[in-house]
Copies of this chain bind each other. A is one copy, B any other.
């Protein structure tokens, strides 16, 4: 990572009212101390709002049209899909080992986080994203019950193994000897699950000590302490991916 690359300005395009999938990008940019603009959260008079994001989704300014936010641009590069964005920017941010096999494995871990996040979303929206939660509450109860009892322990148990088997960090980090973007994402997963399913997560907490220790370590890193207590960190809410509906966490 060169200092000059760190001075590049990243432009993040994501929904302004939620953490959502964009938060995985925000955490990496914040931990790296990168220069970035959270475009949709800027005032309209400063070129902000969701209009520039919708223009990108409509194919303006790129012949490589993205399907959905988050979208990140740096220089002429336009990148979409959360895990793809992290895969591309992590070397510039110093948040992934340089070794190619490890970088590929980090991406596999992140894509598994993506799968987990998708299942978290579908726990409250099992039928359709076009319907309100209230209109699919009965089905959400069924899906969330299965998610909490079966899928959440499977995913978290897997990541606990990943930590345990990473001898280079003595079980502290997911890959290599130092913190990577995967660790930041695992922090966000624990943070989100603790918000959405506090009772369900508490029941399996004893099985994932390394994940919880990683969560606490990430929360204590100086740049993230500053970020998490700032207004840049949007609070969890019931418009995002991680939602707390007591009926889904009995």
In-complex Cβ contact of A108 among B84, B118, B139, B158 (8 A)? B84
In the complex this chain forms, how many copies of it are found? 2
Q: Does A132 contact B (CB under 8 A)?
A: no
Whether A108 contacts B80 in the complex (CB less than 8 A), given A64-B101, A67-B158, comes out as: yes
Q: Does A1 contact B (CB under 8 A)?
A: no
**Considering the chains assembled together, what is the distance between the CA atoms of A78 and B165 in angstroms?**
15
Cβ–Cβ contact A59 & B108, under 8 A:
no
Whether A111 contacts B139 in the complex (CB less than 8 A), given A63-B167, A64-B105, A104-B77, comes out as: no
Q: Does A9 contact B (CB under 8 A)?
A: no
Cβ–Cβ contact B139 & A142, under 8 A:
yes
Cβ–Cβ contact B104 & A83, under 8 A:
no
In the complex, per-residue mask of A205-246: 1 if CB is within 8 Å of any chain B CB, else 0: 000000000000000000000000000000000000000000
| Nearest CB of B to A49, in Å | 23
Q: Does A127 contact B (CB under 8 A)?
A: yes
**Considering the chains assembled together, what is the distance between the CA atoms of A77 and B102 in angstroms?**
10
Q: Does A16 contact B (CB under 8 A)?
A: no
In the complex, per-residue mask of A148-162: 1 if CB is within 8 Å of any chain B CB, else 0: 001000010010011
Residue of B nearest to A87 (CB): B107
Whether A59 contacts B165 in the complex (CB less than 8 A), given A84-B104, A142-B127, comes out as: yes
